Structure 1
Amino acid sequence: MASIHDVAKEAGVSVATVSKVINHYPDVSEKTRKKVKNAIELLRYRPNVIARGLVTGRSWTVGVLINIPFTNPYVAMLLEGIKTALENSGYDLMRLSARLNDPEYSFVNHCQSRNLDGVVVFGVDKDHLSIQELIESGIPTMFVDTDATGLRAGNITTDNRNGAHMSVRHLAQLGHRRIAYLAGTPGHEVNESRLAGYRDGLEASSIPYRKEYIMSGDYSYDSGFQGMKMLLELDEPPTAVICISDMAAFGVIHAIETHGLNVPGDISVVGFDNIYEAELFKPALTTINQNIHTIGVKLIEELISMIKNPDYPPPVVTEPSSLIIRESTAKCREFGE
């Protein structure tokens, strides 16, 4: 079995240079990097992970805690971005489970016992005791869709407020004035940001805010379906609905069609996320694009920067959102016309 010394001899470089290439250090020329990689391939050299960890002081493993069902298309796209970035960096991914409702449980101990170099957290309230403990622990951490920060903790999110604002503006330009918002869980940061953007849009378009047009729920298909049924029972139903997620929007469209109405002929619908299915759905969904894959890549790049450099400032990244206009929105046509 080939050793790192064999690789160094074959490539005509030092053992230290081979180690730098294996560990993805940037201060190696592309020509030298290519020679080392060719030697590794020729000799079929496989680094000893345990020895590598002893030398570098790292496990080369990043943990991810996602407190949202993995069946959610948003999660799948986020993980794909995370996977892409990790494959290019030499790190492995460990899915973490956490007993977040157990007061005796320590998530930090859970991470430390696995010698994780860093952690990604998505879908857990920043005020949760375990998350506060994580922030204070000094473990490099990136949060998704929350403004949690610490000495070694940063976050990445989408411009949720502007995204919702764009949705209202688009519908107002189509002549809609009865615009409802199918919301997420009250108090959650993403929901509150989008709700604020919705209200910004109403104000900018001189449309009165109507409390009865706000339906709280979650991000699911069922939530969208049930919320839309309640909106349709109003004396003056909305002519357009903005949804907290694309999955909720699919449920909204189903409820509208079950009621004997048409999208977008009778009611326009806007989603949020731009998951893969949004373009394939019938009608194709107008939605706010979050660049989910890019978010996954960037959060790992930032996390690894924190891991490699203890002085790297914890990043706070806001990805721009954009409106994708498809078939589910059209000019307003009042009921009965």
Structure 2
Amino acid sequence: MASIHDVAKEAGVSVATVSKVINHYPDVSDKTRKKVKSAIELLRYRPNAIARGLVTGRSWTVGVLINIPFTNPYVAELLEGIKTALENSGYDLMRLSARLNDESYSFIDHCESRNLDGVVIFGVERDHRIIGELIRSDIPTMFVDTDVMGNRVGNITSDNVNGVHMAVSHLYGLGHRDIAYIAGTLGHTVAERRLQGYKQGLAHCSIEYRDKYLEVCDYSFEGGMVAMRKLLHLQSPPTAVVCTSDMAAMGAIHEIEAWGFSVPGDISVVGFDNIFEAKVFKPSLTTVNQNIHNIGARSIEHLISMIENPEYSPPEIMEPASLVIRQSTGKVKVSEDQSR
């Protein structure tokens, strides 16, 4: 098995230079870095992780805590973005579990016991006690969809407000005036931002907000079904519905069709996320694209920058949203009375 001394000899450099290349130090020329990397590949050298940690003071491991079900397709796309960003970074990923409802539990102790260099957090709301723990700690942290900042804490989110606003404007342009909204659990940052976008969209289109057209669900397929069922029971059901997630939108469509109505013939439906399933679902789903893969990748890129440079300012990033128009939205159905 090749040693670091063998790599140094093959590349014609010192052992210290090889160590700098392995540990991503910047003060090595590109020419020298290429020579060392070529020698590493030729000799199939694999640095000892423990020794590497002793040299750098790092574990070269970052943690990710995702506090929503892993069965949600959003999670798969987010993790794929994280994986992409980590591939050539030299860091490994550890999935974290956390007893968030246990008052005696310390998330900081949890991270420190695993010697993590930094963490990405998704699905933990800003009023949870571990938020304060992380802000007060020195652990580099990137939050996804939670708008908190600290000395070593940054965040990244989608433009949730404008995303739903665009969805409402799209439906208005198709002639819809009775536009309902299936929201996420209220009190959570993302849900509140998207509800804000719904209300702003209505106001922009000069449509009065009506409480009866607001239902709440848990972002799931089943939640979308239940919420849509309540809307269909109204004396005057909506002609269009914007949903807080694609899964909820698919559940809503399932319920609409179970009642004998068609999408978009009778009711138009818009989702939010643009997961892979949105384009293969029947009818294909008009939805707000929030660049999930990019959010995952950028969260890791900025986390690593914070880990490797203590002077790096934690970022506050808003990814732009866009509307992807597919088959689930169409012009409002004109009643016989209106057509006369």
Partner of 2:280: 280
Partner of 1:113: 113
CA contact (8 A) 1:266 1:334 kept: no
1:313 partner letter: S
CA contact (8 A) 2:62 2:118 kept: yes
2:278 partner letter: A
Partner of 2:40: 40
Distance 1:195 1:325 in 2: 21
Q: Does 1:128 align with 2:149?
A: no
Give how far 1:27 is off. 4.3
1:54 partner letter: L
Closer, same or farther: CA 335–93 of 1 in aligned 2, 3 Å: farther
2:156 partner letter: I
The CA RMSD measured in Å over matched residues stands at 1.2
Q: Equivalences for 1:315-330 in 2 at 5 Å? A: 315-330=315-330
1:238 partner letter: P
Distance 1:73 1:60 in 2: 28
Q: How many residues align?
A: 337
Closer, same or farther: CA 86–37 of 1 in aligned 2, 3 Å: same
CA contact (8 A) 1:74 1:275 kept: yes
Cα-to-partner distance string for 1:139-185 (whole Å, 9 max, x where unaligned): 10000001011110000000000000000000000000000000000
Give how far 1:235 is off. 0.7
Q: Equivalences for 1:1-337 in 2 at 5 Å? A: 1-334=1-334
Distance 1:40 1:238 in 2: 64
1:203 partner letter: A
Distance 1:106 1:309 in 2: 26
Comparing 35-44 with 310-319, greater Cα deviation is found at 35-44
Distance 2:16 2:237 in 1: 70
Give how far 1:334 is off. 4.1
Closer, same or farther: CA 46–179 of 1 in aligned 2, 3 Å: same
Give how far 1:30 is off. 3.8
CA contact (8 A) 1:239 1:266 kept: yes
2:291 partner letter: N
Closer, same or farther: CA 4–161 of 1 in aligned 2, 3 Å: same
Distance 2:66 2:55 in 1: 31
1:87 partner letter: E
Distance 1:294 1:20 in 2: 30
CA contact (8 A) 2:221 2:251 kept: yes
Distance 1:126 1:196 in 2: 18
Distance 2:20 2:278 in 1: 43
Distance 1:229 1:96 in 2: 36
Cα-to-partner distance string for 1:109-132 (whole Å, 9 max, x where unaligned): 000011100011100112111221
Give how far 1:335 is off. 5.6
CA contact (8 A) 2:63 2:118 kept: yes
3-state SS of 2:262 partner: coil
TM-score by length of 2: 0.97
1:205 partner letter: C
Report the identity percentage.
Answer: 72
CA contact (8 A) 1:154 1:316 kept: yes
CA contact (8 A) 2:126 2:189 kept: no
Closer, same or farther: CA 335–148 of 1 in aligned 2, 3 Å: farther
CA contact (8 A) 1:266 1:335 kept: no
1:244 partner letter: T
TM-score by length of 1: 0.97
5+ residue gaps, structure 2: none
Distance 1:214 1:88 in 2: 45
